[in-house]
Amino acid sequence: MPDVAQQAQGFEIVAREDFSEATYLLEVRHPMMARAARPGQFAIVMQSEHGERIPLTLADFDAAKGTVTFVIQAVGKTTREMQRDCRVGTRLYAVVGPMGIPSELGRARKVVCVGGGLGVAPVFPQARACKQAGAYVIGVVGFRSKELMFWEDKFRAVCDELIVCTDDGSAGIKGLVTAGIAQALAKHADIDEVIAIGPPVMMKGCAEATRERGIRTMVSLNPVMVDGTGMCGGCRVKVGDAVKFACVDGPDFDGHQVDFDDLTSRLGRFKATEREALERWQESCRMPGRGEA
Amino acid sequence: MAAAKKKKTIRTIPQARTPMREQDPLARARNFEEVTLGYSREEALVEAERCLMCADQPCVRGCPVSIDIPGFILKVSEKNFHGAYDVITDTNLLASVCGRVCPQESQCEGVCTVGESLEPVAIGRLERFVGDMAIREGWANVPYIEPAGLRVGIVGSGPAGMACAADMAKAGCEVVVYEAFHTPGGVLKYGIPDFRLPNSVVDVEIDKLAKLGIRFECNTLVGRLFTVEQMVTEMGFHAVFIGTGAGYPSFMGIPGESLNGVLSANELLTRCNLMRARDFPAYDTPLAPGKRVAVIGAGNTAMDAMRVSLRLGAEKVLCLYRRTRAEAPARAEEIHHAGEEGVEFHWLTSPVEILGDALKRVRAIRCIKMELGEPDASGRRRPVPVAGSEFEIEADSVVYAIGTNANPILGQTSKLALDKRGYIATDGNLATSIPGVFAGGDIVTGAATVIQAMGAGRKAARGMKAWLGLRDTESIYEEADAAAVPGAFGIPAQERNHARVRIA
């Protein structure tokens, strides 16, 4: 593969799909990463030379096509700018990965894969890998409403059961993913693992839902980081009595051990600067009537 | 040898070391321009006169890469600056970098003969003068390279990797350097701030390596994108050098370390230097600099973190160190510069807890006074807490600069043997447990200096050349060695061509 030439000009976006006002998918050509990637790993992306390095969990990878897929929510300046500018045929300045320790899969016989909101995308490779390893896979995916749903078909293809949860009840059961977990736990007495990916508050809820029965519950943490290679320590998280770096010691950790309050507070480290960046950017490009929801 | 000039003696040379012009401390503490301005041609000529050209040449032995120091200084005093550059580049391609960041006082200048009675010759400043002139004049010494038909992969584009890459390229190998960041240079880019070593200087030096035919591939995390084992098997590299640095920053494990406003010096420096958070919002990376910054540690990284904090607008920057100034690991010059710029030093002070406010932001740091007790394993007197001496210092940011641990990625992803601290284990030639794979720099020794890493890169290159059966062009003139190791069949040992055996 002519990786050098490709890199000199950045990493080409070969597909884009918009799931909603705020959520979009980018498929990027990177044959080497597509071959190397395993479920649970992430990559760091820079849109431009002046951009910041943002960690994104791999939502999919296809060695045959030579592509990796990210599902991104436009929340801050960088992700909104990417939403505006990343089109098929344009290039990302930097994409590095796969990073982190791949998820330990294949031991569980019956597994619940839980994705909340944006976490729905990165839990997909885990569900697929569990299925390929011969496990009975129960998918639990949660969205605010039916309009925000995506990848139901992809999940149906790899899950033995799929429980859809929406906050407003417009699809599936009404309630949070924890309601879906409760339903799965009630029906199956022999679940031996839960994999939960989503916002910290949701992963915390999932870990609490399984704590009593002592079911192994793995969560994927995505704290603030710079390099992603263990060098800056910005992504340190409290797991049990230890401090771990999510980038090289994770990103998967035992959800029953993770201090989610600490994670949530540390995710707000740069809130003021991030707000300033977003406001400044919105002013400068005068986005008419967007992002009001 | 030089033309027989009038012999210099300690009495005839200029007595005082030529000072280097610097930016005014208060002005420079608010900008990222270089602190020291370098010698002019006249200043360099005066300083070059101070070298006695002594026969003993302790400076050459004091240099980790053995630059022919009297040789290049002689060329400077003859006003043959290109010649001086040629002498330096025989052993060191990065004159402008090393002239700036080497701890000369503990290397070449520390053993300088002149230094026995006067201040030593300012070797580092002269090296920088020559290197900077080469950049200005566009000199690049590209030697004639005979292709050897061998491929060498280098993991990490910092000083160790650059030095090894240069030597292997000169030996005719096709060299590819892999870097995980989006731009090459390693610690020279992300760590050392621009006011000590401008990134533009690093870029020029990297361009010189590119002119030797070295290819840099960024955005490549070796271990995860492909493994070291894959490099020597399916990717077709005949040898690999690992120079990934140490990385993984240490914290103390005291309460309050996860408060917002607590960060490692690595993070502060990377955000500011490499990601250019200092130019926010023109660059997107956030930093949230503190107004009252407490930096823990007193090494060179701590000094960089403090001086960066001042430049980012801190009103007060404090250095907390549990021993005294005499034990501080930073270069004397760095401590001096930091003090001049307004850093407040608190010696014999050790943090015990970081205190936060309701929003989990740093509010203060509680410390305890220390006193020096018996010497410890490092030979330095061990600091002992003084009972009942706890006190609080107001701060909104706490930066840890107390060293680093080994980066775990290559240990996780390869069968490389590690030592008990997690660093890569090597033999005397810097060969690792995997045949054909060498390692050097911080990932072998733990945190050290730029020039020590470069020295390790060059040493590994020598080991690699021997392993690949390439003649080591440097050692051919080292007659003493050749005599010590008698060659077989009348062929000098260094000229022996090894048959290369691949172990699958």
Which tokens is A175 given? 């309630």
Residue A290 pLDDT: 46
What is the enclosing helix (H) or strand (E) of B356? Answer: strand B349-356
> Cα(first)–Cα(last) distance of chain B, in Å?
50
The pLDDT assigned to B268 comes to 94
Q: Which of A230, A268, A280 sits opposite B407 (nearest CB)?
A: A230
pLDDT of residue A217: 93
CB contact under 8 A, A273 and B288: yes
Q: CB B180 to CB A243 under 8 A? A: no
Chain B neighbors of A50, CB-CB under 8 A: 276, 282-284
Closest CB to A7 among B180, B218, B282: B218
The C-alpha of A113 sits at a distance from chain B's nearest C-alpha, in angstroms, of: 25
A234 touches chain B (CB under 8 A): yes
Q: Any CB–CB contact under 8 A between A97 and chain B?
A: yes
pLDDT digits (tens, 9 = 90+) for A26-52: 999 999 999 999 999 999 999 999 989
- Summarize pLDDT for A216-236 with one digit per residue, the tens: 999 999 899 999 999 999 999
Chain A: give the shortest CA distance to residue B277, in Å.
9
- Are B396 and B380 in contact by the 8 Å Cβ rule? The answer is no
**Yes or no, beta carbons of B253 and A243 under 8 Å apart:** yes
Residue A43 forms contact with B (CB below 8 Å) = no
Closest CB from B224, B247, B275 relative to A52: B275
**What average pLDDT does chain A have?**
88
| Contact criterion met (CB < 8 Å) for A99 and B407 | no
Report the pLDDT averaged over residues A89-103: 94
Q: Check residue B487 and give its pLDDT.
A: 54
A243 touches chain B (CB under 8 A): yes
User: What does the H/E/C string look like for chain A?
Assistant: CCHHHHHHCCEEEEEEEECCCCEEEEEEECHHHHHHCCCCCEEEEECCCCCCCEEEECCEEECCCCEEEEEEECCCHHHHHHHHHCCCCCEECEEEEEECCCCCCCCCCEEEEEEEHHHHHHHHHHHHHHHHCCCEEEEEEEECCHHHCCCHHHHHHHCCEEEEEECCCCCCEECCHHHHHHHHHHHCCCCCEEEEECCHHHHHHHHHHHHCCCCEEEEECCCCCCCCCCCCCCCEEEECCEEEEHHHHCCEEECCCECHHHHHHHHCCCHHHHHHHHHHHHHHHCCCCCCCC
Q: Do B225 and A36 touch (CB under 8 A)?
A: yes
Instruction: Confirm or reject contact between A275 and chain B (CB < 8 A).
Output: no
Q: Which of B285, B291, B357, B396 to mutate to test the interface with A (most CBs of A within 10 A)?
A: B285
Residue B489's pLDDT is 56
Please give the pLDDT value at position A287: 53
Pinpoint the alpha helices (H) of B330-449: 332-340, 409-413, 442-445
Residue pLDDT, tens place only, A119-134: 899 999 999 999 999 9
Q: Which residue of B has its CA nearest to A41?
A: B224
pLDDT in tens, chain B (504 residues): 444 556 788 888 999 999 999 899 888 988 889 998 999 999 999 999 999 999 999 999 999 888 999 999 999 999 999 999 999 988 887 888 889 888 888 889 999 999 999 999 999 999 999 999 999 998 877 777 888 889 999 999 999 999 999 989 988 999 999 999 999 999 999 999 999 999 888 998 899 899 889 999 999 999 999 999 999 999 999 999 999 997 899 999 999 999 999 999 999 999 999 898 888 888 888 888 889 999 999 999 999 999 999 999 999 999 999 999 988 999 888 999 999 999 999 999 999 999 999 889 999 999 999 999 888 887 888 899 999 999 999 999 999 999 999 999 999 999 999 999 899 999 999 999 999 999 999 999 888 888 889 889 989 999 999 999 887 655 444 444 444 555 555 555 554 444 444 444
**Would you call B203 an interface residue with chain A, using a CB distance cutoff of 8 Å?**
no
Could you give the ipTM of this predicted complex?
Answer: 0.89
Structure tokens, B130? 């020559």
Torsion of CA A76, A77, A79, A84, to 10 degrees: 130
Reference A234, options B310, B185, B334, B277; nearest CA is B277
Mean pLDDT of all residues in A198-220: 91
Cβ atoms B409, B443 nearer than 8 A: no
What pLDDT score was predicted for residue B476? 41
Determine contact, residues B213/B150, Cβ cutoff 8 Å: no
**Confidence (pLDDT) at B482:** 45
Reading phi first (left if > 0) and then psi (alpha if -120 to 50, else beta), residue B362 is in beta
Judged by CB atoms closer than 8 Å, whether chains meet at A101 and B412 is answered as yes
Closest in A46, A229, A270 to B182, CB measured: A46
- Quick one: three-class SS letters along B18-40? CCCCECCHHHHCCCCCCCECCCC
Min CA distance, B103 vs chain A (Å)?
24
